[in-house]
Structure formats: structure tokens, C-alpha cells
């Protein structure tokens, strides 16, 4: 994969009933710090399904795999990893993709 292609990470969670606010607090902390503190993190969106509010998806974009690997060593991810298991029913396998064009570039 060429270095110029952004590295995309999709993570999906099924949150326990009554735990969404606590889960989102952890997720938003991780997302905010990822974008603010990691030069290689281009975007980190946290989305909740309109039809199933217990379904949460992370859409993360990094400069490359090395930038994502650096994310794995951060204190904010460690906080998220320490707190989220008690708040979820399930976690789908993380998916890794190479973004070929952004919405801003599509014409």
C-alpha cells in the first residue's frame, strides 16, 4: 500500500443497555486526544446508529499503518481499553482499510 493512502480503522461495539453515556465518554476522550495529540491521526469519528442506539462505530483515519501503531501506545487508548470492556456486550473484529479517495476529493 503506498504511503500516501490513508489507513482507515473501523471498530464496532454493542454497548450494554444503560451504559451508552459512560461508553461515549470514554470514546470521546480517546477520539479527542487522538486528533489533538497524534500528528498521524487525521480523523476519529464516533457514531451511534439511529435505528439501534446500542450500536457504536468508530471511523478512524491515520496517515499510515505506522501512525495507527503509534496510536496503540497512547495513554488515551489505554484509558479506553481499561474502561470499555465492562460497558459492552460485544465487539466486532476491527477492520483495516486503505482509503482511496475522500469525500472532499470525489467530484
Q: How confident is residue 75, by pLDDT bands cut at 50, 70 and 90? A: very high
Structural domain spans, the chain: 7-98
pLDDT of residue 25: 98
Fold held by 7-98: Alpha-Beta Plaits (3.30.70)
Residue 2 has pLDDT above 50, yes or no: no
Average pLDDT over residues 33-60: 97
Q: How confident is residue 105, by pLDDT bands cut at 50, 70 and 90? A: low
pLDDT of residue 1: 40
pTM over 0.75, yes/no? yes
Q: Which residue, among 54, 61, 65, has the nearest Cα to 88 in the 3D structure?
A: 54
Amino acid at each position: 500500500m503506498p504511503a500516501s493512502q490513508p489507513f482507515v480503522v473501523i471498530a464496532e461495539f454493542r454497548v450494554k443497555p444503560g451504559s451508552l453515556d459512560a461508553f461515549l465518554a470514554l470514546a470521546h476522550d480517546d477520539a479527542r486526544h487522538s486528533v489533538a495529540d497524534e500528528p498521524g491521526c487525521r480523523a476519529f469519528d464516533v457514531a451511534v446508529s439511529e435505528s439501534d442506539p446500542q450500536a457504536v462505530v468508530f471511523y478512524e483515519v491515520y496517515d499510515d499503518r505506522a501512525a495507527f501503531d503509534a496510536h496503540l501506545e497512547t495513554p488515551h487508548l489505554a484509558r479506553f481499553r481499561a474502561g470499555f470492556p465492562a460497558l459492552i456486550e460485544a465487539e466486532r473484529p476491527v477492520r483495516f482499510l486503505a482509503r482511496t479517495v475522500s469525500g472532499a476529493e470525489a467530484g
